[in-house]
Structure formats: structure tokens, C-alpha cells
Amino acid sequence: MLSAVVVLYNPDDTILENIGSYLNWVNFIYIIDNSDKPNGHKFSDLGPKIQYVFNNGNLGIAQALNIGCKMALANGLEWIVTMDQDSKFLNFTDNVKDLLSSTTNKNIALYYPDYIIDGKLYDKSIKEENEPIIVMTSGNIINLKIHEKIGGFEEKLFIDYVDIEYCLKLKKEGYSIANLPNVVLQHELGDSKRTSFLFVKAIVTNHSSIRRYYITRNRLYVRNKYKDVSNTFAKIETRIFINDILKILMFESHKISKIKSIIKGYLDYRNNCFGIYNK
């Protein structure tokens, strides 16, 4: 049996279409709501598969995912699809269940789909031996027993780098990840856009100052925790960190507040201050 968990934070009405893309292919969907106000009424027509939990506040993506995984384990399920509210499958079918039931490789802890991001096939994952070692959370199918064994998602990160930390933790513990053949997930990145300055072209994410705080703090934590697990990841993350700062200075608005948030993220990492952002 297969379940799904989707984490909400003040969703718009596209959430119904997105859930509909996998509703028929799973036995349960655990909707874990980190929103400011309850949204349970939106899902009243989706039937008995839906189990809705309102957290009465934002507990972070990691804790919300862990809540859904624990509910699935309590219901005796082996696998769970982890979803963002702004993602949908383009071709999720019963073939996925057949693959999960027929697999003989007990070392596979996570299956990931192909990704369409902002209308284009995404193939920029960090790889070793031509295989991704890190994939985004949305669209993955994770083995619940292994999830429980390794301690689940790292809740102190709150948001950002939760997926990266999970994948590296699997690698550290000797588990592998594998592609779901012919399964495609459509995902939206939000405010990212292509831009240029003189002869320099770049894709800028336009993350808020608070997101810059989380990204910086958690990036440094994950990079240094797993530098011996993947030297490739550690080197690439250092380069991306520098490029992000340059992009903010060259292309983005609110430069000063974002740089201040980066500095605070660095200081909180050094001082071992994690969890939700604290001014």
C-alpha cells in the first residue's frame, strides 16, 4: 500500500488540482497544514482517503513531513510520496505500485521522478558517477522503515536543505536512491527569473531575506556535517554560496537586508542556533 504526505502553508486553490494528480493512485493522503488558518474545508469533497492535520502554526517542513510519515507507519504502510503544495504529477500510474512491490533491492530508500521545473526538464542535480546524490523532496517515494531507522527529516533545519540533508544522510548510512522510470513531476519555483547585466546572464531566485537566513544557516550546517560523505557536494555548495551572494549584489532588490540575513545565518550556525528564525 502507498500513501502520500503534502505539507501546506497558506495554499491557493491550485492545491486541489495538484492533489488530484495523485489522489487515485494512493491509499491515504496525509495533509499536514502549517498555515495561519485552517484549510480543512477545502478537502471535504475528496473522500475518505484524506487525513487532515492542522498544526495551528508553522512547525516547519521537516516536522510536518515527519508527522505524515509517522501517521503512515501507524497505518502499516511501507512507502510514502512526499509532496509540496505547488507540485503535481503529470503521469503517476499503477506502474509505480508495481515497481515498489516487485523491487528486490532492499537498499533503495528513495525513488525520485523526473522533474519539469518552470516548463523545462530539470537535470542539474549534484551527481557522482553520473547519478544524482541529492534530489528535491517533492515527488519522492520514500521507504518508511528506513526513514524511521535513520531518524527521519532533520527538524532543527525548519525549512531549506531538509531534502538535501535527508539524501546525504541516506548516503552516509549506505542506502541508495533510484529513478522512477517514466514518472514526471511538474514543480514551480516561484519568483525565480532569468536576467542579465552587461555580459553576465543568470537565474536569480529572489528569495526573501528570511529565506536567505535559513538557506545560509542550513547550507553551512549540512555542508560541514556531510563533507566527508560527499566532497563533490561540499565543493559545489561553496561555489553556489559565493555565486548567490554575487547575484544578490548584482541583480536582486533589498540587497542590504538580504546580506544582513546571510550574516545572521552564518552567526547562528556558528553559535548552534537552529529551529525557527528568531530576530
Q: Is 24 within a domain? A: yes
Q: Are 89 and 113 in contact (CB under 8 A)?
A: yes
Do 11 and 143 fall into the same domain? yes
Q: Is 217 exposed, middle or buried (CB count within 10 Å of its CB: 0-12, 13-18, 19+)? A: buried
Last residue of some domain: 126, 156, 187? 187
Structure confidence by residue, pLDDT tens digits, 124-169: 678 898 889 999 999 999 999 999 999 999 999 999 999 999 999 9
Whole-structure pTM value: 0.93
Q: Are 66 and 153 in contact (CB under 8 A)?
A: yes
Last residue of some domain: 187, 222, 243? 187
Asked if the model's pLDDT at residue 194 lies above 90, the reply is no
Q: Is 84 within a domain? A: yes
Q: Whose CA is closest to 93, among 185, 2, 183?
A: 183
Do 129 and 7 fall into the same domain? yes
Do 80 and 177 fall into the same domain? yes
Q: Is 275 within a domain? A: no
Task: Report the half-sphere exposure of 220 (CA within 13 A, side-chain side).
Answer: 19
Do 95 and 229 fall into the same domain? no
Instruction: List the beta bridge partners of residue 3.
Output: 28, 80
Name 92's Cβ contacts closer than 8 Å, sequence gap at least 6: 21, 22, 25, 183
Structure confidence by residue, pLDDT tens digits, 238-278: 999 999 999 899 888 999 999 999 999 999 999 999 999 98
Do 82 and 200 fall into the same domain? no
Do 243 and 168 fall into the same domain? no
Do 25 and 109 fall into the same domain? yes
Range of the domain at 246: 193-270
Domain count, the chain: 2
Q: Which of these ranges, 114-118, 212-216, 265-269, has the smallest mean pLDDT?
A: 114-118
Structure confidence by residue, pLDDT tens digits, 7-66: 999 999 999 999 999 999 999 999 999 999 999 999 999 999 999 999 999 999 999 999
Q: Are 169 and 128 in contact (CB under 8 A)?
A: no
Structure confidence by residue, pLDDT tens digits, 196-213: 555 556 567 788 999 999
